[in-house]
Structure 1
Protein backbone atom coordinates (compact mmCIF):
# COMPACT_ATOMS: atom_id res chain seq x y z
CA UNK A 1 0.00 0.00 0.00
CA UNK A 2 1.41 3.45 -0.89
CA UNK A 3 2.65 5.28 2.19
CA UNK A 4 0.28 8.22 1.63
CA UNK A 5 -2.72 5.87 1.76
CA UNK A 6 -1.93 5.17 5.40
CA UNK A 7 -2.10 8.83 6.47
CA UNK A 8 -4.98 10.33 8.45
CA UNK A 9 -6.66 12.02 5.50
CA UNK A 10 -6.80 8.75 3.53
CA UNK A 11 -8.41 6.96 6.48
CA UNK A 12 -10.87 9.83 7.02
CA UNK A 13 -9.42 10.45 10.46
CA UNK A 14 -9.08 13.88 12.09
CA UNK A 15 -6.50 12.85 14.69
CA UNK A 16 -2.76 12.43 14.33
CA UNK A 17 -2.47 8.77 15.34
CA UNK A 18 -2.30 7.41 11.74
CA UNK A 19 0.44 9.92 10.89
CA UNK A 20 2.37 8.95 14.03
CA UNK A 21 1.99 5.28 13.15
CA UNK A 22 3.33 5.90 9.64
CA UNK A 23 6.32 7.70 11.18
CA UNK A 24 7.00 4.78 13.54
CA UNK A 25 6.85 2.32 10.67
CA UNK A 26 9.25 4.45 8.64
CA UNK A 27 11.76 4.87 11.45
CA UNK A 28 11.62 1.22 12.50
CA UNK A 29 12.44 0.23 8.93
CA UNK A 30 15.12 2.92 8.46
CA UNK A 31 12.87 4.09 5.65
CA UNK A 32 14.73 6.67 3.60
CA UNK A 33 12.79 5.41 0.57
CA UNK A 34 9.47 6.05 2.34
CA UNK A 35 10.60 9.55 3.36
CA UNK A 36 11.31 10.33 -0.27
CA UNK A 37 7.91 8.89 -1.23
CA UNK A 38 6.19 11.27 1.17
CA UNK A 39 8.14 14.20 -0.21
CA UNK A 40 7.26 13.24 -3.79
CA UNK A 41 3.63 13.03 -2.70
CA UNK A 42 3.76 16.54 -1.22
CA UNK A 43 5.42 17.88 -4.37
CA UNK A 44 2.55 16.46 -6.43
CA UNK A 45 0.35 19.15 -4.81
CA UNK A 46 -2.49 17.02 -3.40
CA UNK A 47 -5.29 18.64 -1.42
CA UNK A 48 -4.30 20.77 1.58
CA UNK A 49 -5.24 18.18 4.18
CA UNK A 50 -3.22 15.51 2.40
CA UNK A 51 -0.20 17.82 2.17
CA UNK A 52 -0.35 18.72 5.83
CA UNK A 53 -0.76 15.12 7.01
CA UNK A 54 2.27 14.11 4.95
CA UNK A 55 4.36 16.96 6.35
CA UNK A 56 3.27 16.17 9.90
CA UNK A 57 4.25 12.54 9.37
CA UNK A 58 7.69 13.79 8.34
CA UNK A 59 7.81 15.90 11.51
CA UNK A 60 7.15 12.79 13.59
CA UNK A 61 9.94 11.00 11.68
CA UNK A 62 12.24 13.89 12.57
CA UNK A 63 11.35 13.54 16.22
CA UNK A 64 11.97 9.78 16.27
CA UNK A 65 14.95 9.53 13.92
CA UNK A 66 16.34 12.93 12.86
CA UNK A 67 19.11 11.40 10.73
CA UNK A 68 16.47 9.98 8.38
CA UNK A 69 15.24 13.50 7.67
CA UNK A 70 18.37 15.64 7.79
CA UNK A 71 19.08 15.42 4.05
CA UNK A 72 15.62 16.80 3.36
CA UNK A 73 16.19 20.13 5.13
CA UNK A 74 16.17 22.12 1.83
CA UNK A 75 12.73 20.75 0.98
CA UNK A 76 11.38 21.50 4.45
CA UNK A 77 12.74 25.04 4.29
CA UNK A 78 10.99 25.53 0.96
CA UNK A 79 7.71 24.52 2.58
CA UNK A 80 7.89 27.50 4.93
CA UNK A 81 6.61 29.50 1.95
CA UNK A 82 3.48 27.35 1.68
CA UNK A 83 0.04 28.95 1.78
CA UNK A 84 -1.16 26.17 4.10
CA UNK A 85 -0.65 26.89 7.81
CA UNK A 86 -0.42 23.22 8.81
CA UNK A 87 2.26 22.64 6.19
CA UNK A 88 4.22 25.63 7.51
CA UNK A 89 4.11 24.64 11.15
CA UNK A 90 4.66 20.96 10.33
CA UNK A 91 7.78 21.91 8.38
CA UNK A 92 9.02 24.13 11.22
CA UNK A 93 8.51 21.30 13.72
CA UNK A 94 10.46 18.94 11.48
CA UNK A 95 13.27 21.49 11.07
CA UNK A 96 13.46 21.98 14.84
CA UNK A 97 13.95 18.24 15.31
CA UNK A 98 16.85 18.13 12.82
CA UNK A 99 18.35 21.53 13.66
CA UNK A 100 21.31 20.05 15.53
CA UNK A 101 22.28 18.20 12.33
CA UNK A 102 21.72 21.06 9.87
CA UNK A 103 22.94 24.17 11.69
CA UNK A 104 24.79 25.74 8.76
CA UNK A 105 21.89 25.41 6.37
CA UNK A 106 19.39 26.71 8.90
CA UNK A 107 21.61 29.66 9.79
CA UNK A 108 21.73 30.59 6.10
CA UNK A 109 17.94 30.21 5.93
CA UNK A 110 17.15 32.42 8.93
CA UNK A 111 15.36 35.07 6.81
CA UNK A 112 12.79 32.47 5.70
CA UNK A 113 12.53 31.03 9.20
CA UNK A 114 12.00 34.41 10.85
CA UNK A 115 9.48 35.50 8.20
CA UNK A 116 7.49 32.33 8.86
CA UNK A 117 7.67 32.91 12.62
CA UNK A 118 6.50 36.51 12.33
CA UNK A 119 3.51 35.69 10.14
CA UNK A 120 2.69 32.18 11.35
CA UNK A 121 0.85 30.39 14.12
CA UNK A 122 1.91 30.03 17.75
CA UNK A 123 3.29 26.58 16.92
CA UNK A 124 5.34 27.99 14.04
CA UNK A 125 6.81 30.67 16.30
CA UNK A 126 7.53 28.24 19.14
CA UNK A 127 9.44 25.76 17.00
CA UNK A 128 11.20 28.54 15.12
CA UNK A 129 12.45 29.80 18.46
CA UNK A 130 13.69 26.31 19.27
CA UNK A 131 15.70 26.37 16.05
CA UNK A 132 17.21 29.73 17.02
CA UNK A 133 18.24 28.43 20.44
CA UNK A 134 19.82 25.35 18.85
CA UNK A 135 21.87 27.61 16.57
CA UNK A 136 22.81 29.74 19.59
CA UNK A 137 24.50 26.71 21.16
CA UNK A 138 27.06 26.68 18.34
CA UNK A 139 29.99 29.00 19.00
CA UNK A 140 30.13 30.08 15.36
CA UNK A 141 26.65 31.54 15.54
CA UNK A 142 26.29 32.45 19.22
CA UNK A 143 26.71 36.23 19.00
CA UNK A 144 24.58 36.67 15.89
CA UNK A 145 21.90 34.41 17.27
CA UNK A 146 21.72 36.18 20.62
CA UNK A 147 20.91 39.45 18.87
CA UNK A 148 18.19 37.75 16.82
CA UNK A 149 16.84 35.96 19.89
CA UNK A 150 16.67 39.27 21.75
CA UNK A 151 14.58 40.66 18.90
CA UNK A 152 12.22 37.71 19.20
CA UNK A 153 11.96 38.16 22.96
CA UNK A 154 11.12 41.84 22.52
CA UNK A 155 8.22 41.12 20.18
CA UNK A 156 7.04 37.77 21.54
CA UNK A 157 3.47 37.66 22.88
CA UNK A 158 3.56 38.07 26.65
CA UNK A 159 2.10 34.59 27.20
CA UNK A 160 5.07 33.05 25.34
CA UNK A 161 7.80 35.19 26.87
CA UNK A 162 8.34 33.00 29.93
CA UNK A 163 8.78 29.74 28.05
CA UNK A 164 11.11 31.39 25.53
CA UNK A 165 13.26 32.83 28.29
CA UNK A 166 13.43 29.47 30.03
CA UNK A 167 14.46 27.68 26.85
CA UNK A 168 17.30 30.16 26.34
CA UNK A 169 18.31 30.07 30.01
CA UNK A 170 19.05 26.34 29.72
CA UNK A 171 21.99 27.10 27.40
CA UNK A 172 22.75 30.74 28.21
CA UNK A 173 26.33 31.98 27.97
CA UNK A 174 27.32 34.07 30.99
CA UNK A 175 28.30 36.95 28.68
CA UNK A 176 24.64 37.24 27.75
CA UNK A 177 23.27 37.10 31.29
CA UNK A 178 22.98 40.86 31.85
CA UNK A 179 21.63 41.62 28.34
CA UNK A 180 18.94 38.96 28.83
CA UNK A 181 17.97 40.46 32.18
CA UNK A 182 17.72 43.89 30.56
CA UNK A 183 15.53 42.52 27.77
CA UNK A 184 13.16 40.82 30.19
CA UNK A 185 13.00 43.91 32.40
CA UNK A 186 12.09 45.95 29.31
CA UNK A 187 9.16 43.61 28.71
CA UNK A 188 7.91 43.69 32.30
CA UNK A 189 5.20 46.30 31.67
CA UNK A 190 3.86 44.30 28.72
CA UNK A 191 2.95 41.35 30.92
CA UNK A 192 -0.42 41.71 32.66
CA UNK A 193 -1.57 38.14 33.33
CA UNK A 194 -0.84 37.20 36.94
CA UNK A 195 0.49 33.75 36.06
CA UNK A 196 2.83 35.16 33.42
CA UNK A 197 4.01 37.92 35.77
CA UNK A 198 4.95 35.29 38.37
CA UNK A 199 6.76 33.26 35.72
CA UNK A 200 8.71 36.31 34.52
CA UNK A 201 9.65 37.26 38.07
CA UNK A 202 10.77 33.70 38.78
CA UNK A 203 12.98 33.72 35.69
CA UNK A 204 14.47 37.10 36.56
CA UNK A 205 15.19 35.95 40.11
CA UNK A 206 17.14 32.97 38.76
CA UNK A 207 19.07 35.21 36.39
CA UNK A 208 19.94 37.82 39.01
CA UNK A 209 21.33 35.09 41.27
CA UNK A 210 23.84 34.23 38.53
CA UNK A 211 25.24 37.77 38.25
Structure 2
Protein backbone atom coordinates (compact mmCIF):
# COMPACT_ATOMS: atom_id res chain seq x y z
CA UNK A 1 0.00 0.00 0.00
CA UNK A 2 2.18 2.83 -1.32
CA UNK A 3 1.36 6.45 -0.54
CA UNK A 4 1.04 9.03 -3.34
CA UNK A 5 2.67 11.72 -1.23
CA UNK A 6 4.65 10.27 1.66
CA UNK A 7 7.57 7.93 2.34
CA UNK A 8 6.98 4.68 4.21
CA UNK A 9 6.10 5.45 7.86
CA UNK A 10 8.41 2.60 8.84
CA UNK A 11 11.26 4.90 7.76
CA UNK A 12 10.15 7.77 10.03
CA UNK A 13 12.58 9.44 12.43
CA UNK A 14 12.75 8.03 15.98
CA UNK A 15 10.15 10.58 17.13
CA UNK A 16 7.81 9.66 14.26
CA UNK A 17 8.41 12.44 11.72
CA UNK A 18 7.58 11.19 8.22
CA UNK A 19 7.75 14.32 6.08
CA UNK A 20 7.98 18.10 5.94
CA UNK A 21 5.96 20.46 3.75
CA UNK A 22 3.02 19.98 1.43
CA UNK A 23 -0.50 21.36 1.35
CA UNK A 24 -3.68 20.27 3.12
CA UNK A 25 -5.81 19.32 0.14
CA UNK A 26 -8.43 16.62 0.77
CA UNK A 27 -6.51 14.20 -1.45
CA UNK A 28 -3.29 14.62 0.52
CA UNK A 29 -5.04 14.48 3.91
CA UNK A 30 -6.96 11.33 3.06
CA UNK A 31 -3.85 9.71 1.61
CA UNK A 32 -2.04 10.50 4.86
CA UNK A 33 -4.75 8.97 7.07
CA UNK A 34 -4.95 5.88 4.86
CA UNK A 35 -1.26 5.33 5.58
CA UNK A 36 -1.24 6.07 9.31
CA UNK A 37 0.13 9.60 8.93
CA UNK A 38 -1.31 12.84 10.30
CA UNK A 39 -0.40 16.56 10.14
CA UNK A 40 0.81 18.29 13.28
CA UNK A 41 2.65 21.59 12.83
CA UNK A 42 4.99 23.14 15.36
CA UNK A 43 4.23 26.75 14.44
CA UNK A 44 1.70 28.18 12.00
CA UNK A 45 4.38 29.95 9.96
CA UNK A 46 6.53 26.80 9.54
CA UNK A 47 6.13 24.11 6.86
CA UNK A 48 3.62 21.39 7.70
CA UNK A 49 4.98 18.39 9.60
CA UNK A 50 3.60 14.88 9.05
CA UNK A 51 3.84 12.18 11.72
CA UNK A 52 3.42 8.47 12.37
CA UNK A 53 4.54 7.81 15.96
CA UNK A 54 5.77 4.54 17.35
CA UNK A 55 4.05 3.25 19.41
CA UNK A 56 0.55 4.20 18.30
CA UNK A 57 -2.34 4.86 20.68
CA UNK A 58 -5.75 3.25 20.21
CA UNK A 59 -8.98 3.42 22.17
CA UNK A 60 -10.49 -0.07 22.33
CA UNK A 61 -13.94 -0.15 20.76
CA UNK A 62 -15.09 -2.79 23.20
CA UNK A 63 -15.42 0.04 25.67
CA UNK A 64 -13.63 2.85 27.40
CA UNK A 65 -13.12 2.92 31.13
CA UNK A 66 -16.21 4.49 32.72
CA UNK A 67 -15.83 5.82 36.24
CA UNK A 68 -18.74 5.83 38.66
CA UNK A 69 -19.12 9.59 38.23
CA UNK A 70 -19.14 9.33 34.44
CA UNK A 71 -21.63 6.48 34.65
CA UNK A 72 -23.96 8.72 36.63
CA UNK A 73 -23.53 11.47 34.03
CA UNK A 74 -24.42 9.08 31.22
CA UNK A 75 -27.53 7.84 33.02
CA UNK A 76 -28.74 11.32 33.91
CA UNK A 77 -30.57 13.74 31.65
CA UNK A 78 -27.86 16.37 32.05
CA UNK A 79 -26.45 15.94 28.53
CA UNK A 80 -27.81 15.21 25.09
CA UNK A 81 -25.68 14.47 22.07
CA UNK A 82 -25.74 14.77 18.29
CA UNK A 83 -23.63 13.72 15.32
CA UNK A 84 -22.32 16.10 12.65
CA UNK A 85 -24.64 18.91 13.73
CA UNK A 86 -21.95 21.44 14.71
CA UNK A 87 -18.64 20.31 13.25
CA UNK A 88 -17.22 23.80 12.75
CA UNK A 89 -18.15 24.78 16.31
CA UNK A 90 -16.48 21.67 17.71
CA UNK A 91 -13.20 22.04 15.84
CA UNK A 92 -12.96 25.74 16.66
CA UNK A 93 -13.62 24.99 20.34
CA UNK A 94 -10.81 22.42 20.18
CA UNK A 95 -8.43 25.12 18.99
CA UNK A 96 -9.09 27.92 21.49
CA UNK A 97 -10.05 28.60 25.06
CA UNK A 98 -10.24 26.50 28.22
CA UNK A 99 -11.11 22.84 28.05
CA UNK A 100 -9.32 22.11 24.79
CA UNK A 101 -7.65 18.72 24.86
CA UNK A 102 -4.77 18.48 22.40
CA UNK A 103 -6.00 21.23 20.13
CA UNK A 104 -3.30 23.92 20.33
CA UNK A 105 -1.78 22.72 17.03
CA UNK A 106 -4.90 23.69 15.06
CA UNK A 107 -3.87 26.59 12.83
CA UNK A 108 -6.31 28.58 10.71
CA UNK A 109 -5.13 26.63 7.67
CA UNK A 110 -5.91 23.35 9.40
CA UNK A 111 -9.30 24.52 10.62
CA UNK A 112 -10.27 25.40 7.06
CA UNK A 113 -8.91 22.10 5.70
CA UNK A 114 -10.85 19.94 8.16
CA UNK A 115 -14.07 21.91 7.72
CA UNK A 116 -13.67 21.31 3.96
CA UNK A 117 -13.05 17.61 4.64
CA UNK A 118 -16.23 17.55 6.72
CA UNK A 119 -18.25 19.08 3.89
CA UNK A 120 -16.93 16.31 1.63
CA UNK A 121 -18.16 13.68 4.11
CA UNK A 122 -14.82 12.49 5.51
CA UNK A 123 -14.47 14.39 8.80
CA UNK A 124 -17.09 14.07 11.52
CA UNK A 125 -18.00 15.26 14.99
CA UNK A 126 -19.98 14.19 18.02
CA UNK A 127 -21.43 17.06 20.01
CA UNK A 128 -22.60 17.10 23.63
CA UNK A 129 -25.18 19.67 24.68
CA UNK A 130 -26.42 21.02 27.99
CA UNK A 131 -29.59 23.09 27.98
CA UNK A 132 -29.13 23.89 24.31
CA UNK A 133 -25.52 25.02 24.68
CA UNK A 134 -22.50 23.18 23.29
CA UNK A 135 -20.82 21.62 26.32
CA UNK A 136 -18.20 19.37 24.70
CA UNK A 137 -17.31 17.42 21.63
CA UNK A 138 -14.86 15.33 19.65
CA UNK A 139 -13.98 15.30 15.94
CA UNK A 140 -11.90 13.19 13.60
CA UNK A 141 -11.50 11.61 10.17
CA UNK A 142 -13.07 8.39 8.88
CA UNK A 143 -11.24 6.13 6.41
CA UNK A 144 -12.83 2.76 5.73
CA UNK A 145 -13.32 0.91 9.00
CA UNK A 146 -11.03 3.26 10.93
CA UNK A 147 -11.86 6.49 12.73
CA UNK A 148 -8.95 8.76 13.62
CA UNK A 149 -10.02 10.95 16.54
CA UNK A 150 -8.13 14.23 16.38
CA UNK A 151 -9.13 16.33 19.37
CA UNK A 152 -11.86 16.93 21.92
CA UNK A 153 -12.90 19.71 24.27
CA UNK A 154 -15.19 20.42 27.19
CA UNK A 155 -16.89 23.49 28.62
CA UNK A 156 -18.68 21.46 31.28
CA UNK A 157 -17.00 18.85 33.43
CA UNK A 158 -17.00 15.37 31.85
CA UNK A 159 -18.62 16.59 28.61
CA UNK A 160 -15.64 15.51 26.47
CA UNK A 161 -15.71 12.07 28.09
CA UNK A 162 -19.39 11.79 27.29
CA UNK A 163 -18.60 12.79 23.69
CA UNK A 164 -15.95 10.06 23.44
CA UNK A 165 -18.33 7.49 24.94
CA UNK A 166 -21.04 8.44 22.43
CA UNK A 167 -18.50 8.33 19.59
CA UNK A 168 -17.56 4.76 20.54
CA UNK A 169 -21.26 3.82 20.63
CA UNK A 170 -21.71 5.34 17.17
CA UNK A 171 -18.67 3.59 15.70
CA UNK A 172 -19.73 0.20 17.06
CA UNK A 173 -23.24 0.62 15.69
CA UNK A 174 -21.86 1.24 12.20
CA UNK A 175 -19.27 -1.49 12.05
CA UNK A 176 -16.03 0.41 12.61
CA UNK A 177 -13.09 -1.74 13.64
CA UNK A 178 -10.52 0.68 15.05
CA UNK A 179 -10.45 4.01 16.90
CA UNK A 180 -7.06 5.65 16.40
CA UNK A 181 -6.15 8.38 18.92
CA UNK A 182 -2.55 8.73 17.68
CA UNK A 183 -0.68 9.41 20.93
CA UNK A 184 -1.16 8.12 24.46
CA UNK A 185 -1.53 10.60 27.32
CA UNK A 186 -2.21 10.17 31.01
CA UNK A 187 -5.74 11.43 30.37
CA UNK A 188 -6.54 8.99 27.54
CA UNK A 189 -4.78 6.24 29.46
CA UNK A 190 -7.18 6.78 32.36
CA UNK A 191 -10.03 6.23 29.89
CA UNK A 192 -8.61 2.92 28.68
CA UNK A 193 -6.31 3.87 25.80
CA UNK A 194 -3.61 1.37 24.86
CA UNK A 195 -0.41 1.52 22.82
CA UNK A 196 0.59 -0.86 20.03
CA UNK A 197 3.78 -1.03 17.94
CA UNK A 198 3.52 1.06 14.77
CA UNK A 199 4.21 -1.96 12.56
CA UNK A 200 1.20 -3.77 14.07
CA UNK A 201 -0.98 -0.70 13.74
CA UNK A 202 -0.01 -0.18 10.09
CA UNK A 203 -0.62 -3.83 9.24
CA UNK A 204 -4.11 -3.69 10.74
CA UNK A 205 -4.80 -0.30 9.14
CA UNK A 206 -4.03 -1.70 5.69
CA UNK A 207 -6.66 -4.39 6.26
CA UNK A 208 -9.33 -1.90 7.33
CA UNK A 209 -9.06 1.23 5.16
CA UNK A 210 -11.16 -0.17 2.31
CA UNK A 211 -14.00 -1.59 4.39
CA UNK A 212 -17.40 -0.33 3.14
CA UNK A 213 -18.32 1.46 6.38
CA UNK A 214 -20.29 4.70 6.52
CA UNK A 215 -20.21 7.10 9.46
CA UNK A 216 -23.62 8.53 8.65
CA UNK A 217 -25.55 5.49 7.43
Q: Check whether TM > 0.5.
A: no
Structure with the largest fraction of strand: 2
Structure with the largest fraction of helix: 1
Bigger Rg, which one: 1
| TM norm structure 1 | 0.30
